[in-house]
Amino acid sequence: MPLGVPTFAMRGAAQQCVLLRVSVILDELALAAGRDPIEFRLQLLKNERVMNTKPSPVANGFDFDAARMANVLEIIRDASGWGKQKAQKGRGMGTAFQFSHRGYFAHVIDLSVDDKKQGESSQSLRRRATSGRIS
C-alpha cells in the first residue's frame, strides 16, 4: 500500500515495543528471584561471548557482544547512583537495555509519583549510556 511518505527510517519502530516487553519480563523475573534488576541483567550477560546472528536481514549480519552490553549497563548503573538511595514512598528507579542497529543502549530513570498519580522524572538522575558514553 503506497503511503506517500518514505518509510525507510521507520523500519526499526517496532523495536521499542519489543524493548518494553522484554524489560518488563526481565523485571518480573528479577522480582521473582529476589534480585536487583540491574544485577539480574548483568548475571544474564556474565559469559563473555559474541553471538553471531547470521543470517541477518542486515547486509553482512551483525554480532552481539554480551561483555560490551554488560559494560554499558555497569556504566549507567554507576552514573545513576543505582541502589545508593533509600526507598521512598512514591519514588523508584527503572532500567532498560537494548542492542539495536549495532548499538548498545542502556537507560535508568528516577521517577516520582504523587498522591494524584502524577509522575515526574528527575532530570538530575536520568541518564543514558550508549556504547560506553554517558549523556
pLDDT by residue (tens digit) across 6-46?
555 555 666 767 788 888 899 999 999 999 999 999 999 98
- In the chain, what are the domains? 8-134 (3.30.365.10)
Q: What's the pTM value of the predicted model, to 2 decimals?
A: 0.71
Taken in order 57, 61, 66, 71, the sign of the CA dihedral is: negative
CA angle 14, 20, 26 (to 5 degrees): 135
pLDDT tens digit sequence for 57-70: 544 556 778 888 99
